[in-house]
Structure 1
Amino acid sequence: MVFNILPWGDIIEAMKTTFFMVSISLFIGTILAVILAFALVLTNDGGLWENRYVFYGLNSVISLIRSLPFIILMTFIFPFTKMIVGTRIGATAALVPLVCFIVPYLARLFENSLLGVDKGIIRAAKAMGANYFQIIWYFILPEAKSSMILSITIGTISLISATAQAGTIGAGGIGDMALTYGYERMDVPVMLATIVILVVIVQSVQTLGNYFAKRARNH
């Protein structure tokens, strides 16, 4: 009976919106985060392109952005969001702060993954005459791949959580629906349904992440 009274049209639309925000921001964020993570590792002390000015500059910016709660970051960059997408409200506008949120978050996780690569592998690559690109592509990335997949998994779950806060600018999504219908309207069936959906999504993401990370370790 409860199943029949739920607004499934709204729920499905909210799930589509969440998928849109998470997938686009994760795709863009992952690319930028990988670049930043390699820049941090390669310019750090002992890195292939050691440069303390570049390292400390990037490190400071990443730490500064990471220290801001998402809701504050989203509000603070309203002018930047308006400049990029032409509006400050809606799911498309939410992509800008979501990307700004996930890039430093993933960059730090990727940095730890890359730093965990055995230095002996890099020394061996140099001894074999590999150039910088070959060292990164054929030696560092394969060794860090499993850990980076788990980092993306964690980042995806964090993005799902952040999309609920993006509802404050009219972005919508399943998390915002849980707050709007469940809390503000005291619609318990809808709140329970959205909570179950969120739990299923998060658990599915975690399971898939663990699976692909395990496969990467075994190859």
Structure 2
Amino acid sequence: MLTDLLPNVVWADMWAATKETLYMTGFSLVATFILGILLGTLLFLTSKGQMWENKAINVLISAVVNIFRSIPFIILIILLIPFTLFLVKTMLGPEAALPALIIGAAPFYARMVEIGLREVDKGVVEAARSMGAKTSTIIFKVLLPESMPALISGITVTAIALVGYTAMAGAIGAGGLGNLAYLQGFQRSNNDVTFVATITILIIVFIIQFIGDIISSKLDKR
């Protein structure tokens, strides 16, 4: 029945493309989470009135975050070609998309981390400081745990954006569902291939959102 409805879909290719999309999204998401937490925390701590207040560093980090957050992803891939070739020696395949995915998503998530940290009750932080807690203790025992629901919501949004980025990266040879939809679907006028690839991407997005909502709600103490 499926063969009649979707005659041009090669399911082995669809499954392989799905695994490439999941690999690109998963790997870049982990790196984005780590880098985003670091950048966002630095942005927060070096801002006015915070423990590591430093205007020069804050302005520098903020400028870097704003620049890379503002560049359209497809242009970012092109700009990073020399860097990508230096790291992975190729511009084809899932690995070639990773540098652009991480550099494009980490600044986006960093801003969400900063916003999440700013939402933490100042009274809780001041109470920890008055009890002589070290900066590291405040960061890892107060700020990050208290802002965790917002951080999870932020990484969920970022993960969904990354799925979209992988589709764009696929259009220029990085593999995945975007590559399959473009090469076997659009270029060959096989609308059924494009349709199935799109539905698969939507399913991935819905699953990510569902998991993110569950984790965030469980961590929310309000």
Q: Would you say same fold, with TM above 0.5?
A: yes
What is the one-letter code of the residue matched to 2:197?
A: T
Maintained 8 Å contact 1:21/1:92:
yes
Aligned equivalent of 1:2: 2
Superposed CA deviations along residues 10-66 of structure 1, whole A, max 9, x for unmatched, are: 000000100111111111111111111111000000111100000000001110111
Q: Tell me, yes or no, if structure 1 residue 164 matches structure 2 residue 167.
A: yes
SS across alignment from 2:76: helix
Superposed CA deviations along residues 65-93 of structure 1, whole A, max 9, x for unmatched, are: 11100010110111111111122222111
Maintained 8 Å contact 1:175/1:194:
yes
Q: Tell me, yes or no, if structure 1 residue 136 matches structure 2 residue 136.
A: no
**Among 102, 106, 130, which residue is 1:103 paired with?**
106
Where does 1:1-219 land on structure 2 (aligned, <5 Å)? 1-3=1-3, 5=7, 6-218=9-221
After alignment, is 39-48 or 77-86 more displaced? 77-86
What is the one-letter code of the residue matched to 2:63?
A: S
Query: Unaligned 5+ residue runs, structure 2?
Result: none
After alignment, is 69-78 or 162-171 more displaced? 162-171
Separation of aligned partners in 1, 2:204 and 2:155: 15
Give the TM-score taking structure 1 as reference length. Answer: 0.95
SS across alignment from 1:129: coil
Maintained 8 Å contact 2:24/2:94:
yes
RMSD: 1.4
Structure 1's consecutive aligned runs of 4 or more residues displaced over 6 angstroms after TM superposition are: none
SS across alignment from 1:88: coil
Maintained 8 Å contact 1:42/1:49:
yes
Maintained 8 Å contact 2:177/2:197:
yes
SS across alignment from 1:87: coil
Maintained 8 Å contact 2:171/2:178:
no
Superposed CA deviations along residues 168-210 of structure 1, whole A, max 9, x for unmatched, are: 3311111222233332222122222112111111111101100
User: How far did residue 3 of structure 1 move?
Assistant: 4.4
Maintained 8 Å contact 2:45/2:53:
yes
SS across alignment from 2:22: helix
Maintained 8 Å contact 1:90/1:169:
no
Give the TM-score taking structure 2 as reference length. Answer: 0.94
Query: Unaligned 5+ residue runs, structure 1?
Result: none
SS across alignment from 1:50: coil
What is the one-letter code of the residue matched to 2:89?
A: G
